[in-house]
Amino acid sequence: MLFLPFVCHYSGHLLAGVDEVGRGPLIGDVVTAAVILDPAKPIVGLADSKKMTEKKRELLFDEIQAKAIAWSIARATPAEIDAMNILQASLLAMKRAVEALSVQPEYVLVDGNKLPQWSYQSEAVVKGDARVAAISAASILAKVQRDREMISLDEQYPGYGLSEHKGYGTAKHLAALRQLGVTPLHRRSFAPVAAMLVNQRLNE
């Protein structure tokens, strides 16, 4: 895939890309990743993780971890999301991911139009996962990690269909919420979950 045009203000090798996955779902952590790619070890096929097959993402997940100068995966919990809102929780998780890199970056490119509060030289890049290889790599790590966690949660909380819809508010998920109730990992500040909790209290 050819990346969309983007001119970075940094030309060194310690460039980190950062992305998040899971802002929209009703359950689970928002997961972020940070990646510093190695120019000497190119990775073919990087692109927006949402436009890849699951098999392709899984293959690239391992290759990114094997070839990157540094990578990390971080998160913010449902409790943190409820306490500070999903945007601020996502930015906090991004900050955690960059701070956890074993090699610290000289410059950071963040997917989206907002930057965390930090001291890093950085830049927000709209549609960054389609414009910057390091952000694409980060989006793949975050997506695969979160999808795996949803599959695991499906075993812990059967009946919600989490392995299928990955926690998004599909008709099946909403029907399961009505039938089975709200789990401890659902985001209580999200409107559909909040409505379910109100209905539960009214019916008690």
Could you read off the pLDDT of 49-104 as tens digits, one per residue? 888 899 999 999 999 999 999 999 999 999 999 999 999 999 999 999 999 999 99
Residue 38: CB atoms within 10 Å = 12
**SS3 call for 170:** coil
What are the strands of the beta sheet with 107-111, ordered from one edge? 70-76, 30-36, 15-21, 107-111, 122-125
Q: What is the pTM of this model?
A: 0.94
Tell me, yes or no, whether 116 and 188 share the same domain: no
Residue 3 forms part of a structural domain: no
Q: What is the CATH number of the domain that holds 113?
A: 3.30.420.10
Q: Which domain holds residue 169?
A: 159-203
Is there a contact between 120 and 112 (Cβ–Cβ < 8 Å)? no
159-179 mean pLDDT: 96
Q: How far apart are CA 72 and CA 16, in angstroms?
A: 10
Tell me, yes or no, whether 34 and 88 share the same domain: yes
Among candidate residues 116, 131, 155, the one where a domain is terminated:
155
Number of domains in the chain: 2
Residue type at position 115:
L
Tell me, yes or no, whether 68 and 43 share the same domain: yes
